[in-house]
Structures are given as structure tokens and as C-alpha cells.
Chain A
Amino acid sequence: MSIENALSDPYTKWMEGKGPYASIVISSRVRLARNLNKFNFPHLHDEQSSREVLRLAKDALTSEEMRQQVEGIDFSQTKDLSSHDLMLLVEKHLISPQFAENEAAESGIALSEDEAISVMVNEEDHLRLQVLLPALQLKEAWSMASQVDDLLESKLDYAFDEQYGYLTCCPTNVGTGLRASVMMHLPAIAMTNQANRFFMSLSKLGFTVRGLYGEGTQAKGNLFQISNQVTLGHSEEEIIANLGSVCIQIIEQEEQMRDKLRKDGLARLEDLVFRSYGILTNAYIISSEEAMAHLSNVRLGLDMGLLRDVQNRKLNELLVVIRPAFLRKLAGKEIDAFNRDFKRAELIRGTLS
């Protein structure tokens, strides 16, 4: 059962740490928003129609064809999951925070065995299909998403309009319903005081830069999410290609900055990396914020060949297991802030040394 696995094992597909540009790009995500004809959007649903949408979506998501195409796909109703379970899924980036908050609703989630594919039912739209892959693999993610979308469409009556495309609850998603985003680790760009200007110019080009957990969140640990803003008037392939090429430029910029860091003062860079490594492998109490900052330095050290005995994959996993819901899971009971910081430090020490 993939949902049970997802809740017990922090490891998930996007943490693999392998693939194109895996040292800078952590993951690539493609999300499609889809709705059904003749039903109000979830925020105006009555209970009966939301139940009906949930039933239709469940039938489509658990059909024989779907099982053949998506390995180990498993469907759960949100009602059957605790709020802690939902938070775990948020921390693994498999569902959105908004979806988790609305736990009482008639909603559900389908998850593939490897957790690369997830579908939220009755989030802001009736269906939110997500494909999340490690490293820079936007095209692969889009092609996987499109195949699942085709299969869903063969079973469900999609709201589609010749002019406006796929009709969505919020007009910022209408058209393709596609939001593609790439999570990148950009410590060298962030270190320069040009970071803000750099990100501003991206927004002029139609891309959004956000923090780790999406809309309205801060960039912690130098992790940035870059995504397309416009969903209408471009084909999916164009959107994916544009975002991909912008990402390559950002990667090049980051690499140049890293070279500069190395040339300008290797000793300073080594100090930064090993000081952080020292703290992470010795601290007994550490806050999430402090941990994220040091993990970023350690990751930089690993990418630049200064540190050797650390695995990219392990660093990715730490991004998730040091979050509150996972720490609670590992403790097996509610824990207060102090014990969280203690548990977090223990986990990091265990992973890095």
C-alpha cells in the first residue's frame, strides 16, 4: 500500500539525487489542474456533489487501466488519514498545505508506488495531478503527467473550452492548467547581493521564484522554487521548454558564482563548509532554521568536492525528516519544541557522521 509506505518511510522518488544537474537541481515538478463538467468547484460544493466527484475520481484512479499504467497506485480518502499523516505528506511535497488543512472535506489522494505521481481530489480544483521527479527532468515529468491525464480524461468528463482550454477554479490556472516548477539549491547566487535583482528579472520574464513550501513561503536553506506564471496562450511543451532553458541559465550563473567563490577565497569557503559540517555533526540541539542553513553549506561543500563522505540523497532526505511532522513520527508521540530540536540534532548527527 503506497500511502502507508509514504507515511512510514521518509524516502521518496524526488530525493534520489541522480539525473541531469542533480547537484544544483533537487527536483522537477509538473502539476495539472483539471475539473469536471456540471459540478461546482470544491469551494462551492455541497456535500452530495463533492462526494459524487470523489466517487467518480476514485473509480477513474483505481480503474484496471490506471493500475496497469501507474504501478502500485493507491487511493485513500482524506477522512481516513490523521492530520499528522497529512502533514507528513505535505513535508514530502506530495500534497499541498492547503489540501492538508481541509481535512474534514470529501477529498482524497492517489499515490503511485514510487510516489512520483500523486493526484489530489477536491483540492482547489476537482483534480490536481502532480508528477515529481529528481533533478532537472521537466520533459519527463510532463510526459508522465500527460499520459495519466489522458487516461483520466477517457473516464471523466473534463471541463474544457475551445477558447479558454481547461477551465479552473482560479483564472490564473486556466488554459493548460499547468504549473511546472523546479527546486534549486542556489547558495552562491544567494550570497551575492545581486540575488534580489536576479529574481526580480525572472519575474519580468514570466517566472515566479518562491521558497521551499510554495506560495508565500520563505526561501530556507537557499532552496528556491522557480515556476511558470502564465498558463494560457502557450502550449505545454513551450512552457516546459521555456522554464527548462531559464533553469539552465540559472545553473550556469550559480556555477560561475561558485567558481568565483573558489578563486576569491578557498580558505573562506572551506571554513564555511567545515564549520557547518562541524556544527551538524556535533550539535545536540538545533532549530530547523539553523539546520537548513548549515545543510545548505554542507551541500555546497559536497558539490564543490570539498566534502566526500556525504551523499546527496541523504541530504535530500534530511530536508524532510528534520521537519516537525516527521520528527513527531520518529518520536512516536507528541513532542515539544525543545525535544524536536534535540531529536533533529540526533538525526542529523546520525546521518552525517
Chain B
Amino acid sequence: MLCQECQKKPATVHLTQIVNNTKKELHLCHECAQNHQELSISLNLDPGFSIHKLLAGMLDGAPLQQMNAAASPECPQCGLNFTQFGEIGRFGCSNCYNTFDDRLKPLLRRVQGTTQHTGKVPKRAGGKLGVKREIDKLKAQLQQAVQDEAYERAAELRDKIRDMENKLQ
């Protein structure tokens, strides 16, 4: 099929438009299609198009306008709310991940396919994480010891926890 417009090149863009129950078909070559108004939206991306805007469109699956800005929590560190995040597609600080945790998960699942990091752990921050996890474990043991009225053991555990907590600071 030749392009309807120039009648020279083969038609590679096919558009079917239905306006007020009237069907209109267009068969154009690439060049003519680019000059065609009806197609300008689908062929030429908005120059301001960016990953951030794309992301914004994926938020929660709900159009942003429907989201109530007042209902969206504000990050205590940087002051960003989720609606603003939706507009710019970027967080304001690392604490935003904490603030918007609930809303972030569905987004990450969509963008990244998962929500759990399995890669590198920094030595220092990771070391602290390790200590924190250890403290949690000891606290559980302490509670058990108190319940069992094993006070000597509980005192030992308490001292150990205190030591480790001091180390963290």
C-alpha cells in the first residue's frame, strides 16, 4: 500500500480514528506521518519526557489528581509529600523511603519487580545493621529469661545488650 499523502513511499503508519461514530482511516509513510497533526502525539514524544514523569504516571495506579494532598504524609526531614513526589518522580531525601514506605512498595514492585535488596551491604552501615539485629535477638532472649525467672541469666543478657548499645552510639 502506498502512502495516501505522497503516493510515493510505502505506507508504514496506519491510523484508525473514530470520531462521533465516523470511522476515518489513514495510511501514511513515515515522513508524511511525522508532518501529520493527528499523529503528532503518538509519534513525537514530548521533549520534556523523562523517566521521572513516566514514574509519576505509575504511582499507585491512581491518577494523581485524585490523591488528596492533605491526606498524603509529609516527610519530616525534607518536607516532601507524596503528591509532590508524584509530580517530580524523585524523592527529597533518604528518609522519604521510610515516610512513604506503604505507597512505595507497589511502585517498586512495578518498576523493579521486587522490593528486597539482595546485593552489596556496606561494611560500616552493614556492620551496624548486624549489631542491631544481634541486639534484637538478645532482647527476645532477655524477655524469655525474665519470664522463666532466670534472673542471673537475665542480668547477664541485660549487661550484654547495654554494652552493644553503647557500641552503636
Contact surface of A with B, Cβ cutoff 8 Å: 35, 37-41, 43-44, 124, 146, 149-150, 153-154, 157-172, 174-176, 178, 215-216, 230-236, 239
Contacts and interface: CB of A to CB of B under 8 A. Distances in A.
Contact of A161 (B50, B52, B97, B124): B97
B104 interface: yes
B120 A235 contact: yes
B117 A176 contact: yes
Contact of B49 (A35, A175, A216): A216
B89 A158 contact: no
B122 A164 contact: no
Contact of B90 (A41, A161, A164, A175): A41
Contacts of A154: 123-124
A165 B124 contact: no
Nearest to A32: B120
Contacts of B92: 40-41, 43-44
15 contacts: A41-B90, A43-B92, A153-B125, A154-B123, A158-B125, A162-B129, A164-B117, A167-B97, A170-B52, A170-B91, A171-B91, A230-B112, A231-B112, A232-B108, A233-B113
B117 A175 contact: yes
Contact of B111 (A37, A166, A171): A171
B146 interface: no
B117 A150 contact: no
A170 B89 contact: yes
B94 interface: yes
Interface in B79-128: 80, 88-94, 97-98, 104, 107-108, 111-126
Interface in B22-80: 49-52, 55, 77-78, 80
